[in-house]
Amino acid sequence: MLQVARQLGTPCYVYNEAVIMRQSRIVLDTFENQPVKWLYAIKANDNPHILSLIQKSGIGFDTVSFEEVLLCRHFTDNPRQIFYTENSMSDAEMDAAIQMGVILNIGSLKRLERFCRHPEATECCVRINPAIGDGHHARVNTGDSESKFGIRIGQIEEAVALAKKYGKRIIGLHAHIGSGIKEPENLIAAMKVLIELSKEFSDLTFINFGGGMPTPYRSSEKPFDMAHFGRLASALFEADLKGRPEGFHYLFEPGRWFVAEAGFLLTKVQTIKDQLETRYLGTDTGMHHLMRPIIYDAWHDVVNLTKIEHTPDQLYTISGNICESGDILAFDRLLPEAEMDDVLAFCDAGAYGMTMASQYNRRALPAEALLKTDGTFQIIRPAQTAEETVAEFLDKCRFTTTINS
Ligand code: LLP
């Protein structure tokens, strides 16, 4: 790892291919004899090399924007391998998705009506708000009854009536209760709700139960017991499958599960300073590269790779290089005494790290590298240089167009 930091420079994201493959294998082995398919929620990490790696293991794509759909089209000729959960989708996006033939998952009655009125639309999935939410933070709880997502259970009759009126088929039911689910029982409860509701629909070919399988970010957190979850879910499926048509299947669409533990954000110490009560380690990365600690108070373990053999006996607060006092990636971490240029690793940063990165303060985006199973490293996205970043920005803003009123 230190060598990658030396060769690639910091900051950079590094992903371990073996971990991604392990996570894929676990899910694929969970339901051996049941009609279960897995999708990867690409918002967690959409580096093309990672998409290709996960797709090769037999996993489809879960997308939430037309841009993500377009990206996935580069990895599969079969649009039915792409599941597109809309969220305030525009008419133009809907039209393009219909033309493309991806599976559209619609989350509001108004949008369902627009879909039904589209002459070329034939079938879609609907997203239900199951009134059961969960997640590692209130901001990622999507199943709560007041969240902006999904069609209320009380409006299902209307959804069914709409489809019938326009002669369209609702072929799928979907819910996603949140990200980083804390109580797996909540997921099981929401699955039961969906299975029960599915009786109201006559054309269903699948039910998609969303993602949200958590990652243990702290050593005190237990890993999600996929095998146990599989047993609980299998019992539901076994009872539900009787009377279902040929080809009927269940889906899950986790993102974090596949990539979080595989990723590290490497950064170098650029300053060390004692304020009255806080000892800061200033780094060459920040909230623009790893937003999670700032938005969700998220925890990422930090390791000083340069001092790996040393005893952790100092408390450090690790700050970024963004001009905001809130740009703190970790508070009060016990680490070995650090020196300038030490390389730190933020662990479990493979999900929602790079995909949420920005150029705030006009900063450049970091490189990404893949540690392959044969031990070699591959740069899968070179770092932007400061010069490139500014040149691209200037180029985009060079031309002004006047819009006539
Ligand atoms: N399906 C849908 C419809 C979603 O909205 C999401 C995540 C997923 C699947 C995948 O969830 P996962 O299995 O990765 O938990 N930025 C936040 C996470 C936001 C997730 C939003 N939706 C974070 O860094 O924790």
CA of 260 to the centre of ligand 1 (A): 12
Active-site choice (12, 72, 124, 323): 323
Please tell me if the CB atom of residue 174 comes closer than 6 angstroms to any atom of ligand 1: no
Q: How many Å apart are CA 329 and CA 357, to the nearest integer? A: 14
Predicted confidence at residue 291, as pLDDT, reads 98
Torsion of CA 45, 48, 53, 57, to 10 degrees: 80
Based on the fold, state whether residues 225 and 343 are members of the same structural domain: no
Based on the fold, state whether residues 234 and 270 are members of the same structural domain: no
Confidence tier at 32 by pLDDT (50, 70, 90): confident
- Residue 89's SS3 state is coil
Residue 405 is assigned to a structural domain of this protein: no
Based on the fold, state whether residues 356 and 278 are members of the same structural domain: yes
Predicted confidence at residue 59, as pLDDT, reads 97
Task: Report, as an integer, the average pLDDT of 149-162.
Answer: 97
Task: Report, as an integer, the average pLDDT of 294-303.
Answer: 98
Alpha-helix runs per DSSP H in 242-372: 256-259, 292-296
Per-residue exposure over 130-145, b if at least 16 CB sit within 10 Å of its own CB, e if not: bbbbbbbeeebbbbbe
Q: Tell whether the model's pLDDT for residue 186 goes beyond 90.
A: yes
Q: Which atom of ligand 1 is nearest to the CA of 142?
A: 5
Predicted confidence at residue 157, as pLDDT, reads 97
Assigned token pair, 198: 């599915």
Confidence tier at 112 by pLDDT (50, 70, 90): very high
Please tell me if the CB atom of residue 233 comes closer than 6 angstroms to any atom of ligand 1: no
Confidence tier at 404 by pLDDT (50, 70, 90): confident
Predicted confidence at residue 201, as pLDDT, reads 97
Predicted confidence at residue 399, as pLDDT, reads 78
**Mean of the per-residue pLDDT values of the chain:** 97
Q: What percent of the chain has pLDDT over 70?
A: 100
Domain containing residue 220: 17-259
Predicted confidence at residue 402, as pLDDT, reads 82
Based on the fold, state whether residues 88 and 200 are members of the same structural domain: yes
Based on the fold, state whether residues 192 and 296 are members of the same structural domain: no
Q: Tell whether the model's pLDDT for residue 405 goes beyond 80.
A: no
Domain boundary among 259, 274, 289: 259
Alpha-helix runs per DSSP H in 101-155: 109-117
Based on the fold, state whether residues 236 and 314 are members of the same structural domain: no
Q: What is the CATH number of the domain that holds 346?
A: 2.40.37.10
Confidence tier at 90 by pLDDT (50, 70, 90): very high
Are the beta carbons of 107 and 151 closer than 8 angstroms?
Answer: yes
Assigned token pair, 165: 């009126």
Q: How many Å apart are CA 385 and CA 292, to the nearest integer? A: 24
Are the beta carbons of 234 and 228 closer than 8 angstroms?
Answer: no
CA of 329 to the centre of ligand 1 (A): 21
Predicted confidence at residue 403, as pLDDT, reads 81
Other beta carbons within 10 Å of 202 = 10
Based on the fold, state whether residues 313 and 171 are members of the same structural domain: no
Model pTM?
Answer: 0.97
pLDDT digits (tens, 9 = 90+) for 269-294: 999 999 999 999 999 999 999 999 99
Based on the fold, state whether residues 246 and 320 are members of the same structural domain: no
Best mutation site among 179, 257, 348 for ligand 1 pocket (most ligand atoms within 8 Å of CB): 179
pLDDT digits (tens, 9 = 90+) for 353-380: 999 999 999 999 999 999 999 999 999 9
Place of tokens 């949200």: 212
Among the ranges given (36-40, 180-184, 264-268), the one the predictor scored with the smallest mean pLDDT: 180-184
Based on the fold, state whether residues 71 and 109 are members of the same structural domain: yes
CA of 64 to the centre of ligand 1 (A): 10
Q: What is the number of structural domains in the chain?
A: 2
Positive or negative, the Cα torsion across 375, 30, 210, 92? positive
pLDDT digits (tens, 9 = 90+) for 199-223: 999 999 999 999 999 999 999 999 9
Task: Report, as an integer, the average pLDDT of 318-345.
Answer: 98
Task: Report, as an integer, the average pLDDT of 241-268.
Answer: 97
Q: How many Å apart are CA 382 and CA 220, to the nearest integer? A: 35
Are the beta carbons of 354 and 45 closer than 8 angstroms?
Answer: yes
pLDDT digits (tens, 9 = 90+) for 217-236: 999 999 999 999 999 999 99
Q: Tell whether the model's pLDDT for residue 400 goes beyond 80.
A: no
Nearest alpha-carbon partner for 181 in 229, 227, 251: 229
Predicted confidence at residue 80, as pLDDT, reads 95
